[in-house]
């Protein structure tokens, strides 16, 4: 599952405690019903209340992305230096990092390794620079499948960064290049991977081109618009409930929250099923300004009833179910 939970601290966001409590409780309920997502990519886990979601939900493993202190040293070119010189302190640039990356990965599967990268100051724009946004990679051991790398990221906003759009576009393109290179270096060819998060692409054609071209250049050919998990599920009608189509369609059209998967051969993983546990609410507003959706990937060598399932926290893996 990928989900931007809007875990912003006060006073940036107000009255978030109840919604964050409900997010954690719903994930816990899904676990009791043995239908929890086994891997969760969360963004905007900035507040201590947001971080409590992991404990309430019952995941054995919770890994945070870059904290506010992490700096990733990278060489600047002439364009980068010019970009830095034009930084606007009144828009949060070159002021240091007040917040961590907001990235967290929850997992029912054992963690074998962790890689983190924070975007440098020449690859952020506007008020987004106050958070130490970047990339989190967690290498997992999935019983019956083996080593799988999971990548979570949150990229720079567009107009919400409160700087000229051209500046936010430049930062976004630089982030995507750095992210694609980082993933290519730290996830070997021949290893299965899931990549997702809040990519902040939207309907912006320039961002679409920047994002997908950068990953294509890095040899990550499974990252294309048509191979997004939500797009695949909608195209083939692979929804847990027909009523979820509206919410998944909303998430796909929103164009910000993405999931992609590949197997060890580099081929895109087939989508078995999708669900949207965090979409429109029966009563009241959605629990975040993003929808949280789940993609069930089915490695080709496993049948529909041979996927690994963790029913309870601490329980040994068993075959069957989701």
- Over residues 105-159, the pLDDT tens digits come to 999 999 999 999 999 999 999 999 999 999 999 999 998 889 999 999 999 999 8
Digit-coded pLDDT (tens) for 162-193? 899 999 999 999 999 999 999 999 999 999 99
Quote the crossing angle between the two packed helices 48-57 and 17-32, to the nearest 10°.
10
- CATH class name, domain 2-319: alpha beta
With H, G, I as helix, E, B as strand and everything else as coil, classify residue 147: strand
Location of structure tokens 């309430």: 56
- Cβ neighbours around 185 below 10 Å, total: 11
Residue 313 confidence (pLDDT): 41
Q: Hey, which residues does 104 pair with through a beta bridge?
A: 42, 64
Residue 283 confidence (pLDDT): 86
Residue 319 confidence (pLDDT): 28
Give CA separation, 163 vs 57, 80, 286, in Å.
37, 17, 28
Q: Hey, which residues does 309 pair with through a beta bridge?
A: 318
Give CA separation, 34 vs 3, 29, 59, 310, in Å.
19, 9, 13, 8
- With a cut of 50, list the residues of the chain below it in pLDDT: 302-322
Alpha-carbon distance 198 to 2, whole Å? 8
Alpha-carbon distance 137 to 288, whole Å? 24
Residue 12 confidence (pLDDT): 67
Residue 205 confidence (pLDDT): 97
Alpha-carbon distance 187 to 264, whole Å? 11
């Amino acid at each position: 599952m990928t989900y931007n939970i809007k875990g912003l601290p006060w006073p940036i966001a107000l009255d978030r405690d109840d919604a964050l409590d409900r997010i954690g409780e719903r994930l816990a309920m899904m676990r009791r019903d043995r239908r929890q997502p086994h891997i969760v990519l969360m963004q905007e886990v900035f507040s201590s209340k947001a971080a409590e979601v992991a404990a309430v939900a019952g995941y054995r493993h919770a890994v945070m992305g870059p904290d506010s202190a992490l700096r990733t040293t990278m060489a600047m070119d002439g364009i980068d230096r010019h970009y830095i010189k034009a930084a606007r302190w009144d828009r949060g640039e070159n002021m240091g990092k007040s917040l961590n990356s907001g990235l967290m990965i929850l997992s029912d599967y054992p963690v074998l390794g962790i890689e983190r990268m924070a975007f440098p100051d020449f690859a952020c724009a506007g008020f987004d620079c106050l958070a130490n946004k970047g990339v989190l990679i967690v290498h997992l051991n999935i019983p019956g499948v083996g080593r799988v790398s999971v990548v979570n990221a949150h990229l720079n906003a567009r107009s919400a960064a409160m700087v000229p759009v051209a500046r936010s576009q430049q930062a976004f393109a630089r982030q995507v290049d750095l992210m694609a290179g980082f993933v290519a270096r730290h996830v070997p060819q021949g290893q299965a991977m899931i990549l997702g998060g809040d990519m902040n692409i939207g309907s912006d054609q320039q961002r679409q081109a920047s994002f997908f071209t950068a990953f294509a250049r890095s040899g990550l050919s499974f990252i294309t618009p048509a191979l997004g998990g939500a797009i695949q599920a909608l195209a083939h009608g692979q929804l847990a409930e027909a009523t979820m189509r509206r919410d998944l369609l909303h998430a796909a059209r929103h164009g910000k929250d993405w999931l992609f998967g590949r197997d060890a051969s580099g081929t895109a993983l087939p989508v078995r099923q999708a669900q949207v546990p965090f979409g429109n609410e029966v009563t009241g507003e959605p629990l975040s300004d993003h929808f949280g959706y789940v993609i069930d990937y089915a490695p080709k060598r496993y049948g529909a009833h041979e996927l690994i399932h963790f029913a309870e926290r601490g329980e040994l893996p068993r075959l069957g179910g989701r």
